[in-house]
Amino acid sequence: MITIPSTEAKTRFGALLDKAQRTPVTIEKNGRAVAVLISDAEYEAYQKLKLQVLQNDLMEGIKQADQGQFLDSETVFHDLI
């Protein structure tokens, strides 16, 4: 992964887009990572993976519910708060 400062990202945006087609590019502002630029293909693969994980979790939940295994909402949503 390549890391560049935001000022360079602004001045060399075209080159940045080319780099992002080959590898993710982290953009830093004041020495802190603020964004990652990835190719469209990488983004689509990431979205598909997220959907697959969500579908797997949903199917597991349905399976558990069919078996009478239930959790209270506080337990389920604890990590989201």
**What integer best gives the mean pLDDT of the chain?**
92
CATH of 2-38, one of 3.40.1620.10, 3.30.200.20, 3.30.70.20, 3.40.50.920: 3.40.1620.10
Give me the pLDDT at residue 77, please. Answer: 82
- The amino acid occupying position 79 is D
Report the C-alpha gap between 30 and 7 in whole angstroms.
10
Give me the pLDDT at residue 71, please. Answer: 79
Q: Taking phi first (over 0 means left), then psi (-120 to 50 degrees means alpha), and beta for anything else, what does residue 30 get?
A: left
Q: How many residues does the chain have?
A: 81
Which ranges of the chain would DSSP assign to H, the alpha helix? 6-11, 13-20, 40-66, 73-77
Calculate mean pLDDT across residues 36-46: 97
Overall pTM > 0.75: no
Calculate mean pLDDT across residues 27-32: 96
Residue 47 pLDDT > 90: yes
Instruction: Please give the structure tokens belonging to residue 13.
Output: 């945006």
